[in-house]
Amino acid sequence: MAVRAVRGAVQLERDEAGHMEEQVGALLTAVLERNDLVTDDLISIWFTATPDLHSDFPAAAARKLGIVDVPLICAQELDIEGALPRVVRILAHIESDRPRAEIAHVYLGAAAALRKDIAQ
């Protein structure tokens, strides 16, 4: 079994804890489903949020989905002028037999503009 990395992002409509939980939960669910993963396949997940998001930790959404024994960490994305606002990004490390080229990276909604080259 190989260690692989899965990228993803979602843009929030507003900075509210419930909305963040919903949107980050949808992102994580899509990553798991599109890559045929279960929580036991997860090694760790890095979350970043743009500096305009203050309402909650993105990792809290993972815990509410039942991802409770996987190391999670949150960090702030760089504050770059002109960058897409209200974005949560993930970098998940997984165990998978899938070749690297078959990993499905997930960019939901307007966040698809961030990585048109790999967004599924």
Question: 2-115 belongs to which homologous superfamily?
Answer: RutC-like (3.30.1330.40)
Query: What is the DSSP track for 33-85?
Result: HHTT--GGGEEEEEEEE-TT--SS-THHHHHHTT--SS-EEEEEPP--TTPPS
Q: Whose CA is closest to 53, among 80, 88, 22?
A: 88
Q: Where are the domains of the chain?
A: 2-115
Max Cα distance, the chain (Å):
41
Tens digit of pLDDT at every position of the chain (120 positions): 899 999 999 999 999 999 999 999 999 999 999 999 999 999 999 999 999 999 999 999 999 999 999 999 999 999 999 999 999 999 999 999 999 999 999 999 889 888 766 655
* CA pseudo-torsion sign 53, 85, 76, 106: positive
